[in-house]
Chains A and B, each alone.
Chain A
Amino acid sequence: MPGPYHYVILGAALFGLGVVGFLTRRNLIVMFLSTELMFQGVVVNLVAFAQMHRHVEGQAFALFLLVVAAVEAGLGLGLVVLLYRRRGTLDAEAWAIMRG
């Protein structure tokens, strides 16, 4: 059986890929998809820690994380639709004025 740190390293890799995706991609939908990728890395981590401590509390936390991810997807995609209505494009650079 692979130890917990195999899973933790895999979770870190998934999270890092999500970070890279969020920073590099300019399409708003793909940016939000990258945040979901980061959530997947966190799920892997939580379950690995739950297994390491031999309790299910980590899995319970992962379920709460699913709730947060669902709310985030709903609100985030609502915002994406709103931004698309305003500018007619999904390009994040169209909102570069918000950098200040």
Chain B
Amino acid sequence: VRWRRNPHVLWRTAPGYLALATVDGRSIEVSGPGGDVWRELTGWVAEEKLAAVLARQYGTGEREVLSDLQSLLHELHAKGYVDRND
């Protein structure tokens, strides 16, 4: 599965923080590593590759990261903030 930012979303990142909004006025805040995930999503990225990058950043195992990552990406996808390509 590959993921990318929805290019029609407005966003800001800060350490441990991500703010997203859609043009129609919906918005969401994500705390924790959401900003780091977002920074990696500049183009289509395979979730295994994304997990590997984040695991290196956080000094933890890829499997552990992958589970949390999938959960976050599925939530953002359901709300229209990221695109998914199977």
Q: A and B: partners?
A: no
Chain A interface residues toward B at CB < 8 A:
none
